[in-house]
Amino acid sequence: MDCLFCNIVNKKISAEVIYESNETLSLLDVNPLAPGHTIVIPKEHADSIATLSENNLGPIFLTVRYITGMLENALSPEGFTIGINQGPASRGGIEHLHIHVVPRWHADNGGSIHSIVHNPPKESLEEIRKKILEANKV
């Protein structure tokens, strides 16, 4: 497997790492949307949040919280957008789970997470809820 983030974890490719734990690595995005735009990755290769081992779910979100604090202390942003692009339709580009932590300022010309997709459902929320629950009966 030739995974960019696995190569960074294994020190085969250099990156601007700002934090590392036993389970995670945090690096500055090479195509930043804002100063301090950071990517948090699990060291374990997983292509999605659904395939990440349970042992690493907690550590990755604890790292996101820690990175948010680091960026607050250093850059004093007025907010953050935190998100995951998962699967080809999201156009994330790299099939290794990664969480974006993007510092935000009032004058940054960006939108909220609600500005990413404009594909409202044709079904009612009740119909969608029923479909989800029916497909996931145990």
Mean pLDDT of 102-113: 94
**How many CA atoms, within 13 angstroms, populate the side-chain half-sphere of residue 19?**
22
Residue with tokens 């909220």, as numbered in its chain: 112
Which strands sit side by side in the sheet containing 24-28, from one edge to the other?
A: 17-20, 24-28, 38-42, 99-104, 79-84
Q: Is the pLDDT of residue 93 over 80?
A: no
Q: What is the pLDDT of residues 110-130, one digit of tens each?
A: 998 888 888 899 999 999 999
Rounded to an integer, the average pLDDT of 91-113 is 91
Structure tokens that stand for 100 in this block: 């974006």
Question: 21: which 2 tokens?
Answer: 């734990």
Q: Identify the residue with better confidence: 120 or 90.
A: 120
Q: What is the pLDDT of residues 8-54, one digit of tens each?
A: 999 999 999 999 999 999 999 999 999 999 999 999 999 999 999 99
pLDDT confidence of residue 90: 73
Nearest Cα neighbor of 101 from 21, 26, 47 is: 26
- Domain count for the chain, please give it: 1
pLDDT for position 2: 86
Range of the domain at 55: 4-135
The SS3 of residue 42 is strand
Q: Percent of the chain having pLDDT more than 90? A: 82
CATH number of domain containing 78: 3.30.428.10
Q: What is the pLDDT, as a whole number, of residue 39?
A: 97
Task: Identify which of 24, 10, 91 has the alpha carbon closest to the alpha carbon of residue 60.
Answer: 24
Evaluate if pTM is beyond 0.75: yes
Q: Quick one: tokens of 55?
A: 């042992």
2 three-state secondary structure: coil
The CA–CA distances, whole Å, from 36 to 16, 18, 48, 97, 136 equal 11, 10, 24, 19, 39
